[in-house]
Amino acid sequence: MLSGVKKIALVAHDNKKKDIIEWAYYNRTVLSQHELIATGTTGKLLEEKLGRPVKKLLSGPLGGDQQMGAMIAEEKLDMMVFFWDPMEAQAHDSDVKALLRLAVAWNILMACNRTTADFILTSVLMREDYPVVIPDYSGYLTRKLIE
């Protein structure tokens, strides 16, 4: 169940940090009603621009992506805004793919561009409790493995 106060993860590749900072500042009033978590550098920049605390994880390539993925799997995040760079390969592309896969697997809100982030953030559902349907992975967990 998502409560009215959401735990929102904010992540951006280097070429998208300016975009996420501008987006967050534009949406600062709405974001002030929620808990913000970010990977290292993005979190530092957001704190400076928004003038409010942001829980900072490690830098993405140094483990921050995995920390965020663990938070998703442990149901400690409600939403992820990840402005990733579609035009440049990243040294940690496998980490990025794993993070995006976990967000989908655990059915959390996810926006990868400004338009989607704006639509989600301004949805009436952001201010309400919302019952999230967690997929049933029991079949996967109890599958017979080849010996």
CATH number at residue 37: 3.40.50.1380
DSSP-derived pairing of the beta strands 55-56 and 79-83: unpaired
pLDDT on residue 114: 96
* Assigned domain for 96 exists: yes
In a domain, 80, yes or no: yes
Which pTM was predicted?
A: 0.90
Q: Give how many domains the chain has, as a whole number.
A: 1
- Show which residues are catalytic: 65
State how far the Cα of 104 lies from the Cα of 35, in Å rounded to an integer: 21
**Secondary-structure percent of the chain, ordered helix, strand, coil, rounded to 5:** 50, 15, 35
Share of the chain above pLDDT 90, in %: 69
Beta strands in 13-94 (DSSP E): 35-38, 55-56, 79-83
Say what the pLDDT of residue 85 is: 86
